[in-house]
Each structure stands twice: as structure tokens, then as C-alpha cells.
Structure 1
Amino acid sequence: MKKVLIILDDIWRPGIDLEELGIPLRNEPKKIEGSSSREEHAEWIEGGSLREEYAERKILVISRDANVLSDLMGSQQNFLLHQLKYEEAWELLKRIVGDRAERDDIHSAAIEIVRECGGLPLAITTMAKALKNKEPYEWMDAVRILKRPSSENFDDISASVYSAIELSYSHLESEKLKKTFLLCCLIGHGYSIQYLLMVGVGLGLFANTIEQARNEVLTLISKLRASSLLIDNSDSNYFDMHDLIHDVAVSIASRDRHGLLLTGDHEPKEWSDRKEMKGFKWIRLQNANINGLPDVFEGRQLTFFSLENNEASLKIPEEFFEGMQELKVLDLAEMHFTSLPSSIGLLKVLRTLCFYGCSLGDISIIGKLKNLEILIISGSDIEELPREIGELTQLKLLDLSCCSELKIIPQHVLARMSRLEELYLGKAFDGWGVEENDNQRNASLAELKHLKKLTNLEVCIPDIQMIPKDFFFENLKRFEIFIGPKWEDQDSSFGSSRILKLHLNASISFNYSVKMLLKMTEELHLRELAGVQNVVDELNAEGFPDLNRLSPALSNTPSSKIAT
């Protein structure tokens, strides 16, 4: 490592401490344990063992604001990335549109669009994809709009670029696609598609079942990526967008009174204008610096409210939600509660309720939300699931993943959720009780047999012999199941939908349910291998038709026995 290039992309403001990021600015020799002097240390380095400490380092900082570069740390050289020349811009449009750009009825409009986009690749790309298959009159109308740019503007976004992105948005094929795009931008950068799904289902934007809704969301995300309004992501489970597109979309949502996103270090002026806030349908407060919450928030049209704030001093007043009778999605992240505000019980049409990373006390009031379909308590410090949760008979999805303090799920609570389609308990709860024992506090795995609609399951099972012999694994479309003592490394990164992690410390016979589970598994992880012969016997007998990854590879097993 004689030369190292460090790239800091998308820097928004000056004042970043590179030392805090772990980027040393000086090549100072480090003290070697056991060495008695600097001379010994230097001599040791001369021998070559730490020569990489003296590597040549260059730091490349990328920003939309040239002032950030000079203020950041006094950059030595600044390079301006110029707009495309006309010829380059024309070739970019032609590459997307094809020969249609040369047609007599489109050619002049295409030239004007390239000129109006000002050589910015993002604007050209979004416009070209929006108009690619449109009629000539739509091209001409796009030229008209670009020549009369929107009055909306930002310091670092030209009016013409703003209009180009807005026009690309307006050409989306359906209102559902437009709403999905605005929702993506309101949610923000780098969020999971699963979270978008939870919000969209709650708003009634997507299909009825969770599985159908997931397929619909993935289709819509694919269309938005094809339009260049969302960025292709290396991780298909997440979505993201360019900063310029995000800023324009948030502005459009605010202008049309659809959604409001408040972030930042200063209290936003919109928050202090209660009359202004009343008209929005979606409001998201993402670590916004706000001086408290009103006793009652008047939001009669509000259907989605999100509050993320890790300040323990911020409290939600008891009557805060009384003015949100139409609320369908409530997302509270990193909040601190001893008990939930009593006014939450008044949200009779609420369909999605999220507590991400919250400190929770008494949440039994949730049992009053009879129309709730999605409940997320992921990453929170809840210790006992209240028995009142069993009243949520309309629940389709329950997520208790990563609740490391969860010790008690009362008997008969899960069995009452007959409409449950997805259940996430992995990385958290493994205190299952014994089947048909009414004297225990915790639910048994046998309760899951009552969930006939369950298609997605994540669960930890401490002992393989706890799995009922008549379990219904064949109904599952996706699962991540951990069997045996808790797995420290529980994450998988191979894109499989059906994952089994098996820790056997003794050789046992597999019952029918376990055999069915093995046959359905796409990705199989083994540990301790005390019972590996059982797995090999199953492979040899019937094979694993869907298996595409085995970890670790059974190097001492004939390859013919692990072929799939």
C-alpha cells in the first residue's frame, strides 16, 4: 500500500474532522508495544514492517458547492466538472431516445430540450427517458415548459434544471407512480424498500396482501429507476436518489400540500406556522430541531406522520394525536416512552404503527387499534409483549426483530392473529415454551400452526426437537430460521429468500417438518457439524432441489452426496 486514494463523495457542508473519520493527516510513527525508545521504533520501521504507515495519501473531495472545498480544509487543487458540450449532450439524448430524435417532427424539439437542459447529464437523462416514447406534440409542450421555468429555485439548482426534473415527474405514467416517487423522497436517502412497503400499505397505496404489495412496490421502484428518478443501487433491498432530484421532489410535495419533510439543525419556519401545517397529508420530522410539540396537533387531513428524534427530553403530550383522526400511518423512531400517549388510542383508522429503536414502557394501549394491519417494534427495548396485542385480529405483519430484551410473548397471543402473513422474531426472541403446557408464561411454536396465511417467517428456535412434527413450512415463500444456540453472525448476504442456519450438537432423527424445511431451503448454514450425517443422509436420500449455497462446504463428504 504505497499509494492510497481516499474519496469523500457528496460533501454538503464544511467543518468535517478527517481525524474523527479515521483519516490521519500526519505520518507519525506509532508506539510499538514493548519498544523502549523512538530509535528502536524507527529502526523497526526501516526494516520494512510498517512501511505502509508512510504511504502516499491523496484525498479527493466531491461537492456541489465550491466554497465547501476551500472551507473544508484548504484544498490544494480544485477541479470544476463542466457541463457537457452541446455535441456530447446531443449524443447522450440520442443514446436514450434512439433514431426518433432525428425524425422531422421531433428533431427541432429535441435540439431545444438539449439546449434548455444546460448540459447537465441528469436533466438530459430524465427528460430523454420521460419523452422517449411520447408523441411529437408532447415534445413541443416540454419545450414550452422548459422555456418558462418554474418559479421554484434553490441556490444550487437552476430554474431550468428544476423544471426538467419536474417535467420528468409529471410524465410518470400513473398517479400511483407519482405518489410512490414523492413518498420515496419524503422518506429520504438510503431507506429500505421494506419500510416503503410498510408505509404504502398503511396508506392504502398498494395491493391488499403483503406479498402482492411487495411485488407491486418492486415493480414501481423498477420503473422509477428506469426513468432515472431513482438510482440503481448495489443492494436491491434499498432505494436512493440523486440529491438534486430529492430536493426538487421535496419542493414539489410541499408546494402541492402533499408532504412536508423537516430536517436540520434549526427550527423550520413551517413548524411554527400551525395554520400552514394543517393542510398537509404527509409530515415527516427527521431529527428536526424543534422546541417541543403542541398539546394537540391539528391535522385533520393528515394520513402519515413520522417523528424521528433521539432526544430523551422531547415528550409527546397526552392529547397530541386528538386532531389526527384520519391518520393511517404513525412512525415513531428512537423515541423514549414510559407509556404511550393516551390519544394514540383514538386513532381508529390507523393501519401501520412503527416503533424503530424506541425505549418503550407500557404499550398495552395498542390493543385499542382494531384496524391495525402492520405493527413494527424492531430494535426497541421492549421486555414483554402485552397480552392486549392479541386483540389486533386484523394484523398482517408483526416485526419484533432485533428486540434483544424481549423475554416474554404470552400464550395464545400469536394464535389469535389468524390473518398474520409475515412474522419477524429472529435476532431477538427464542424463549419458546413447551407445546400444550398451560402452566408456562411463553407461547410455544405450536401456536404458529394457527397462522394459516403466514408466508414470511423469521424465527430463532433453540432446540430442533421443539419443532412440531406437523408444522406447515410448505406454506412459506420466504424464511430465515435459526436452529440451535443463538447465532452471533446472523446476517446473510447472498440474496436468498429461504435461509436455514442449523446448529446441531448431537445426532438426531429429523421429523417430517424438518425434512420439508430442508427440501425448501435455498441457503443452508451448518455449525458444530455434530449432526452433519443427518444432513448428508437427507441429501443422499432425496436431495435438496432448491439448495444453491451450503456453508461451510462439506469437504470430507463425497461431492455426489451434496449435489443439488
Structure 2
Amino acid sequence: MEFLASALAAAIVELGKCFCGSAYCKIENFAKFRSNLDNLRGEMASLIILRNSVKGIIAEAKRDGHELLNPALVEWLEQVEQLDTEVGLFIEASTTNNNGETLSKYCPSCCFSCKPGREVTRKLKDVKQLIDKGSLRRQTADAELKLGKQEVPKGQSIPGPSVPSKCLDSVLNSLNCEDVNRIGVWGMGGVGKTTLVRTLNNTPSFIQHFSVVIWVTVSKQFDKRRVQIDIAERLKLDTTMEESMESTARRILQRLQLEEKLLLILDDVWEAVDLDHLGVPEPGDHPGWKLLLTSRSLDADEDIKVEVLDDEESWKLFTQNAGKVVNLENIEPVAKQVAGECGGLPLLINIVGASMRGKKMVQLWEDALSEMRRSPVPNINGIYDKVYKPLKWSYDALEGTTIKSCFLRSYEESTNRGIALIENLKDSCLLERGDFGASTVRMHDVVRDLASWISSSSSSEDGCKAFVRSGLGLTNFPEVETPDSVKRVSFMHNRPRPRPKSMLQCPEVSTLLLQGNRLLEIVPEGFLMAFKSLKVLNLSKSGIEKLPQSLLQLRELRALLLRGCADLEELPPLGGFTKLQVLDCHRAYRIKELPQGMEELSNLRALDVSYTDALRHIQSGTLSKLSSLEFLDMSCGAKERLTRYAELACLERLTALYIDLDISRLASGSFEWIERLKRFHFIIADRRSTKHIRGGGYTEKRVTVLTLCLSGKDFGWLLNNNVSTLTFDNCEELEKFPESLGRNVCYSALRSLTIESYRGQFLSSNAGFCQIPNLELLKLFSVDHLESISQLASTLGLEFSKLRTIEVSSCEKLKYLFSVGGSASALEHLVSIKLFNCKELEELFVYGSSSANPLPHPIVFNLRRVDLQYLPKLEHLSGEIESWRS
């Protein structure tokens, strides 16, 4: 009976659950709802307290002149405000009716509903998440309040002209680019690198993008521990010298991990800095972190060179330092010349300008001008300590005496080593790219004076002093006796009389530079006798008509440079110069024959007789006996002069060759020896051609086809030797180009194609095969009947997927560059377009009406530069906005 009662009770309970389950659920929801609602009120109150605390920190910072609002903090505050409104409305709707009466009293079913229960749970979760985020935001903001913005060394801030505005814009663009994490600002000493970065740091609209900015001066005497302590102190971390670098690095890392937007500025960097060792992770590992460094050399994701100021900017900065005195009528012309002597170097402009401030006597200005022109180190207060001494650090930082010797002397190494040294000097801002292309260099005037000062001082590191009297307008060479320590003498770019007198005694001098003396017609017989140890004699671009017989006494001579001696008619016998390594007669137009004894120069390594129109004959057997010859330039010479290709084949050490090739003799010769050449420029022409071409660089393999009809010509075998640059100049039947190269043959090494002075029509033919798939540079000059580059591509079998640069000039019928949607593909690597004097050009890209394979948009998404000049009909760049990067 007891068992029956128990079973009956259990059955009743289960039956009750089935009938009353809904009621049980509502009771449970009601209990949880009231509990969660109370929790929501409490958590929301905590969030509001946290919000008010953050706002208080922001207000306090604002009173101190700092701006702490960053995008992450602004977003969090907006989320808190929105959630506060939502929670308030929810609580009100859950507890009162329209009359303000409590709903649980009059309508308890509303509180029993499951829907409000789920809603309160979700909002409670949202509030807790914002509390977690807000705690981190408050910690960061509090640290920023204590930290403040970076204090930088006092100095000039430049909205003025100390640094070109384009450099400022370049740095800003790089810092705003998500793909760039390391930005290097480099340039020669005194050019304004630190001033530029200081200006950025003092620009609120820029700095506010970062939660913290750390500025550390590294300097030439790089002390890792000092730099680490500077970073730690900037972050308000207590440090002691007894603490290990590893321990400090861990604490710096922990502190930096609180930052989402960090800018680390390392100023005056001379060598590689191991950031991990300091406790700073690499910027690339953290989106939003940037490293900005200033240096005299370059190695970063984005390198921005700070160039010297132009004339207008230089004058503005000079007037700021010199004051109103420069506006005086008698002072201004001389003052502008003084400013010009500063070479656009802001540091030098500041010092010279300040030294002349308030000086109203024109004689003082003229004296300053003479001093700057005459002496490598002008007698102006502060010049040595503030200009030349800092600049000399760049020289001292060069690795080894070899490269320092290259800087002070002239290039005497082999080509590859020489290029490496020159590039090192360029990266250290001691040399700059020349005005005539990448294969030339120039030296800034101030750096040139630095070189003269270093080489003339008793502290010259290689022990070789120099005696320099260049560009002074001397009419006679000075009558002095140089000490034995003098190894180099320079009288270049003066105005010596036709027959200068000199009583020089220079027994140990190895280098004599006389180039650029246009009035120098004859070198006195006794003059060279003073230089018995001479190894390098440079008479380039002088007015010399004949070399003295005393030259034959210089048996140690290694280099004889007669480049551009347009009046020189003959050379003395050179058979006794067994140590001669370099003979340069480039553009010595009047030389009719090579000197006697030429075949005896067994150590000659470089011979340049290019552009020697009068040299019509080279005696048979002469070239083949120059067994050490590595470099030979015979290009653009007399058309009657025949080169014996068999003699060139005998020169086993020859690695660089620049000659004209007679098309009529190519088929009969043997040219396997070309394969061992590392650099060459072959000019293929008909012997009847009288046109000379512009010279190119000595660092590539080039072929120029000059004034030829391409029909029936075969020179594809020549391009098989990894030719990188091909030029057609004033040729005919260019549509035969694929046949001349050999159909279905691919020339993957070819990177550059130039077509110049082509008068023929482009027939509607198709090459049917891509012969040049890796073209990077396309130049078109005076191609008369070309209407589009797409037309050229189909005719010649060109592929543009790797194309980087397009240069088009004086193509009078060109209407557009590319027809998009036809055979042209997306120009994903194109970065530069230069167009000049194309009178019919209407737009750059024309979209075809149909395409089986639609092109991606934009088609030129890497385009960085567009130069447009004298294009009268150009109305828009493209009819489709999708052509350009957004």
C-alpha cells in the first residue's frame, strides 16, 4: 500500500510537470530576470564611473595642452554613450508602463516572458565587454597624461624654407601608408634631416594620430644602454644602471604592448640598431607602429632623401638669418652670390647668414664672397666646428682606407669594385647622381671643399696630402716647392696663359690634375720634369695642341687622360710606357693615328678612342697585342675605319666592348667571343651612315640599330647574348622587326626598347608571338604615324605586363596610349608615364566596346608619376574613372 502511494505521487508530479511546465519556466525566468536586471544596473553604474574617469583624464590633459583623443578611445566613448542610452530605455520599459506604474504589480506576465530575459542577458554581456576595454583605455590615457607629447631638442622649427616642402610631404605620405613601417630620412650632414623630423613632431595634426611618440638621439657614439634608458625614461619607467639590459627590455616591451599607435623616432643613426635588444619589437609585427629614422646612409622600407635647397629656398633662409641688410641696393647682388656659395646646405646658410647679419659695408660682403670662393675652409666664425667637422664624420664613417682613397683621389679600381665604392659614397651622401644619367656622379660644392680640406690637412689618413688650387682663375701655375708628403696636385679649371711659367718642384707627386684649362695650349717642356713620380696625368678638356717630349720621361705613368682634347692632333710614341694601364682619347677629334709603340703596352687595361672622327686607320695587329686589355671603346668613330673582329677574339681578358658593327660583315664573321663579354654596346649600321648616337652607360648590354632597313636583316643571334637594351634609330620597315629577330624566339633578358625617328607606317599585322615578355622601359621619340601603343604592341610582338616606365615625345599622330579591353593586359607594374609634344593626343586609355576577358580595375593601380607637357588636345586622362587607383 505504501509502495502504491509513492508511485501514485510520482505519477501525479510528472503529470503536473507536463501540464504546468510553462508556469515553471516563467517562474524561473522571472527569478533570473530580476537578478540580471539588478546586475545590469550595477555594471552599468561601474561603466559610467569608468567613462567619467577617462573623460576627466582627457580634460586634464587638454588643460595641459595635450590631445589624448585617439581613434580607439573615441570609438569606445561613443559605444559607452550608445549603450547607456539603450540600457536606460530597456530598464524603463521593463519596469514601468506608460503611466509610470510598475509593470510587475499590474501585469506580472510581462516579467515572466522569456524575451526580456534574453535581452537583459545580452546587454549585461555588452556592458562587461566595454568595462574590460575601458580599463585598458583608461590605463593608456593615464600613462599618456603622465607622458605628455615628446619633448625634442630645442632648435629651429620649419614652416620656413629649411627643408623643401616636397620632403615633408613625402614623409607624411609614407607615415600614413599602411604598408610602410620603417621610414628612413637620409641626406648629407647639415641638409636638415633633424629639422624636418622636428617639424613633424611639432605638428599637432600629425602627432595626434599616435598614442605615443618616442624621440631618441642615437648619435655617432652609439651607446645601446643609454638609448635603452632614454626610451624607458620616456615611458616613465624607473631604471638604474645596475639593472640588466634584458630586464629593462622586458619592462619596455610590456609597457609598449599597451599602445596601438606608436611612433619611434631614432635621430642621427650611424649603424644598425637591434630594436629587439632594446625591448622594442619590429614595427612590421604590430600594425599601427612606425619607425622613423634619420641617417647619412639609407636602409628602410621607404627611403626619403632630403635634398639641398634650390636657389629660391636658399635665398629665403639666408635672408631670415642675415636680416634686412640684404635688401639694401648695393648689398643684395653680392649677398645673393654669397648665398649661392653655400650650395643650398641649410646648416651652412644659417651660419654664413648669421655671421653677416647687420653688416652694411659692401666691402665686408665682397670679402666674405672672396673668402668662400678662395679657401676650402672660409675664415667665418663657426664654419669649422659646425659645418666641416660634422661633415667629416661622414668621411670618417667610411669603411677602410680603400674607399676613402677613392673619395679623395680618382677611380683606379676595376669596374665592379669601382661601382661598389661609388655607390657606397652615394649612400653616404658624399657623391650624388650626376646630371647626365645614372652612370655619372657629381659632388656637392661643400663636400668638394671638405675633400680638399681633408686631403690638404696634415691629418690626411692615408698620409697623402694634396696641393689644391682649382677654379681660382690662375693665369700662371704657382712657383712653390711642395713637401714630400704632397702626393696630389690640382690646378684644374683655371685660366693659364698659352705658355704658363712654373718653377714647381714636386718629386713625390703621383697625381696631377690639369683638366678644364681651356686656355692651356702648350705644356712647357720643363713643367712635367718636376713630376718624376707621376702616375696619373689628366689633361681632359684642355686646349692642349701637342704633348711635350718631356712626357716620355714619366716612366711610372699609369693613366693618361686626354678626354675632350679637341685641339690635340698627335700623341708622342708610347712604347716606353710599359706600366700604362689607362689611355683615354674620347672626343679627341683631330687625332689621326694611334701613337707609335702602341702594341708594346702589354699592361694597358682600358683604351677609349670613341668619337675620334679623324682616326681612320688602326694598324693591323695592334689591338691583338694588347693582351691585358679589359675595356675597349671604339664607338662612333670614322666610318672608313674597319674593326678586325678576329683581333678582338684574341683579347681573352676583354670584358667590356663598345664598337660599331658593319652590317655587311656580320654574316661572314665568327662572334663566339661575344659570350664572354660582361658589358657591351654594339651599334649596327650601314657603312654609309653618318649619324652619331648619344652615348650610353657602361653597365649594361646594349644594341643600337642605326639607319637600317630591317627587311631581310638577321641579328637575332646578337640579342641571344642577354642583351638588356635595344634601340632602333632612324630605321625603315620596322614591321619586319619580328622577322629580323627570328620568329617564335623569346628574348627574356630584354628590358628596354627605344624607337626613334621612324617615318614608316604601321601595317595592321600581328606578330603572332610575344618575343619580348619582360619589357620594363619603352621610349618612343618622333614615331610619326603611330596612333597608339597598342598598335605597336600587336605589330612588334610586345608584352606590357612588366612595363614600369613609358616615355613618348613628338609623336604627332598619337591619339591615345592603350586600348583597354583588347589585347592589352592590366598594367600592374606601370609606375611612370612621361608625355611630351604629342599634338593629337586626346586621352591615355580608351576602353574597347567588347572584351572576352574583362580587365581588373584599376588597370594602373601602381602608377606614381605622370608628366604631361605640350599636349594641346588632351582633355581627360581616361573616359573611365576605374582606370586609376582610388
TM-score range, shorter chain: 0.5 to 0.7
CA contact (8 A) 1:297 1:322 kept: no
TM-score normalised by L of structure 2 = 0.42
| Structure 1 residues without counterparts, runs of 5 or longer | 1-61, 64-80, 111-124, 135-150, 184-198, 207-212, 434-442
Is the aligned partner of 1:524 residue 2:726? yes
Is the aligned partner of 1:160 residue 2:367? no
Query: Deviation digits for residues 310-336 of structure 1, max 9, x if unmatched?
Result: 444642112322232221111112334
CA contact (8 A) 1:498 1:522 kept: yes
CA contact (8 A) 1:474 1:516 kept: no
How far residue 456 of structure 1 moved from its aligned partner, in angstroms, is 1.0
State the alpha-carbon separation in 2 of the partners of residues 461 and 489 from structure 1: 13
State the alpha-carbon separation in 2 of the partners of residues 392 and 331 from structure 1: 19
Question: Which of 536, 555, 563 pairs up with 1:329?
Answer: 536
State the superposition RMSD in angstroms.
Answer: 4.2
Question: Which of 660, 669, 675 pairs up with 1:460?
Answer: 660
CA contact (8 A) 1:398 1:422 kept: yes
Is the aligned partner of 1:128 residue 2:268? yes
Q: Which residue in 2 is equivalent to 1:505?
A: 709
Question: Which of 208, 215, 221 pairs up with 2:416?
Answer: 215
Query: Counterpart amino acid of 2:612?
Result: C
Q: SS of 2:569's equivalent?
A: coil
State the alpha-carbon separation in 1 of the partners of residues 200 and 450 from structure 2: 24
1:325–1:90: structure 2 CA closer, same or farther, 3 Å change rule?
farther
Is the aligned partner of 1:374 residue 2:612? no
Is the aligned partner of 1:175 residue 2:401? yes
How far residue 426 of structure 1 moved from its aligned partner, in angstroms, is 0.9
Query: Deviation digits for residues 1-57 of structure 1, max 9, x if unmatched?
Result: xxxxxxxxxxxxxxxxxxxxxxxxxxxxxxxxxxxxxxxxxxxxxxxxxxxxxxxxx
Query: Counterpart amino acid of 1:369?
Result: F
Q: Which residue in 2 is equivalent to 1:255?
A: 457
Query: Deviation digits for residues 211-270 of structure 1, max 9, x if unmatched?
Result: xx222222222222332333356833122333322222211111135223322344399x
State the alpha-carbon separation in 2 of the partners of residues 537 and 86 from structure 1: 55
State the alpha-carbon separation in 2 of the partners of residues 268 and 159 from structure 1: 34
1:468–1:95: structure 2 CA closer, same or farther, 3 Å change rule?
farther
Query: Deviation digits for residues 385-442 of structure 1, max 9, x if unmatched?
Result: 2342222121111101122322222222112112211110112233244xxxxxxxxx
State the alpha-carbon separation in 2 of the partners of residues 492 and 539 from structure 1: 28
State the alpha-carbon separation in 2 of the partners of residues 226 and 515 from structure 1: 39
TM-score normalised by L of structure 1 = 0.64
Superposed, which structure 2 residues align to 1:202-241 within 5 Å?
206=413, 213-231=414-432, 235-241=437-443
State which drifts further: 344-353 or 319-328. 319-328
1:467–1:420: structure 2 CA closer, same or farther, 3 Å change rule?
farther
Query: Counterpart amino acid of 1:275?
Result: E
How far residue 510 of structure 1 moved from its aligned partner, in angstroms, is 4.2
CA contact (8 A) 1:414 1:448 kept: yes
1:173–1:537: structure 2 CA closer, same or farther, 3 Å change rule?
closer
How far residue 377 of structure 1 moved from its aligned partner, in angstroms, is 0.4
Superposed, which structure 2 residues align to 1:95-494 within 5 Å?
97=218, 105=226, 128-130=268-270, 153-155=378-380, 157=383, 159-183=385-409, 199-201=410-412, 206=413, 213-231=414-432, 235-256=437-458, 258-267=465-474, 272-276=478-482, 279-290=485-496, 293-294=500-501, 297-312=504-519, 314-358=521-565, 359-381=567-589, 382-433=591-642, 444-466=644-666, 468-471=668-671, 472-485=673-686, 486=689, 488=691, 490-491=693-694
How far residue 176 of structure 1 moved from its aligned partner, in angstroms, is 1.5
Identity of aligned residues (%): 21
CA contact (8 A) 2:571 2:595 kept: yes
Query: Counterpart amino acid of 1:374?
Result: V
State the alpha-carbon separation in 1 of the partners of residues 626 and 215 from structure 2: 55
How far residue 447 of structure 1 moved from its aligned partner, in angstroms, is 2.0
State the alpha-carbon separation in 2 of the partners of residues 418 and 328 from structure 1: 21
Query: Deviation digits for residues 166-206 of structure 1, max 9, x if unmatched?
Result: 233223221112222223xxxxxxxxxxxxxxx432xxxx3
Q: Which residue in 2 is equivalent to 1:88?
A: 198
How far residue 338 of structure 1 moved from its aligned partner, in angstroms, is 4.6
Q: Which residue in 2 is equivalent to 1:190?
A: none
Q: SS of 2:411's equivalent?
A: helix
Larger radius of gyration: 2
How far residue 131 of structure 1 moved from its aligned partner, in angstroms, is 6.2
How far residue 517 of structure 1 moved from its aligned partner, in angstroms, is 4.5
Q: SS of 1:283's equivalent?
A: strand
1:522–1:97: structure 2 CA closer, same or farther, 3 Å change rule?
same
State which drifts further: 284-293 or 352-361. 284-293
CA contact (8 A) 1:287 1:308 kept: yes
CA contact (8 A) 2:482 2:506 kept: no
1:91–1:538: structure 2 CA closer, same or farther, 3 Å change rule?
same
State the alpha-carbon separation in 2 of the partners of residues 214 and 499 from structure 1: 17
Runs of 4+ in 1 over 6 A off after TM superposition: 81-87, 89-93, 107-110, 131-134, 492-496
CA contact (8 A) 1:392 1:417 kept: yes
Greater RCO (Cα-Cα under 8 Å, separation 6 or more): 1
Query: Counterpart amino acid of 2:407?
Result: F
Q: SS of 1:481's equivalent?
A: strand
State the alpha-carbon separation in 1 of the partners of residues 216 and 439 from structure 2: 29
State the alpha-carbon separation in 2 of the partners of residues 90 and 563 from structure 1: 46
Q: Which residue in 2 is equivalent to 1:52?
A: none
1:488–1:91: structure 2 CA closer, same or farther, 3 Å change rule?
farther
Q: SS of 1:176's equivalent?
A: helix
State the alpha-carbon separation in 1 of the partners of residues 196 and 634 from structure 2: 56
CA contact (8 A) 1:285 1:306 kept: yes
How far residue 356 of structure 1 moved from its aligned partner, in angstroms, is 1.4
State which drifts further: 521-530 or 351-360. 521-530
1:109–1:164: structure 2 CA closer, same or farther, 3 Å change rule?
farther
State the alpha-carbon separation in 1 of the partners of residues 512 and 469 from structure 2: 12
CA contact (8 A) 2:607 2:632 kept: yes
State the alpha-carbon separation in 1 of the partners of residues 645 and 193 from structure 2: 61
CA contact (8 A) 1:536 1:561 kept: no
Query: Deviation digits for residues 57-110 of structure 1, max 9, x if unmatched?
Result: xxxxx99xxxxxxxxxxxxxxxxx999769828979968859x98965358999
Q: SS of 2:669's equivalent?
A: coil
How far residue 352 of structure 1 moved from its aligned partner, in angstroms, is 1.0
CA contact (8 A) 1:332 1:356 kept: yes
State the alpha-carbon separation in 1 of the partners of residues 603 and 610 from structure 2: 20
Q: SS of 2:491's equivalent?
A: strand
1:154–1:246: structure 2 CA closer, same or farther, 3 Å change rule?
farther
Q: SS of 2:638's equivalent?
A: coil
CA contact (8 A) 2:573 2:596 kept: no
1:317–1:469: structure 2 CA closer, same or farther, 3 Å change rule?
same
1:495–1:546: structure 2 CA closer, same or farther, 3 Å change rule?
farther
CA contact (8 A) 2:439 2:697 kept: no
How far residue 509 of structure 1 moved from its aligned partner, in angstroms, is 6.4
1:308–1:510: structure 2 CA closer, same or farther, 3 Å change rule?
same
Q: SS of 2:438's equivalent?
A: coil
| Structure 2 residues without counterparts, runs of 5 or longer | 1-160, 163-190, 203-213, 232-264, 275-375, 459-463, 757-761, 774-886
Query: Deviation digits for residues 444-487 of structure 1, max 9, x if unmatched?
Result: 33322221221111111233425653122111111111111347
Superposed, which structure 2 residues align to 1:55-66 within 5 Å?
none
Q: Which residue in 1 is equivalent to 2:846?
A: none
CA contact (8 A) 1:354 1:377 kept: yes
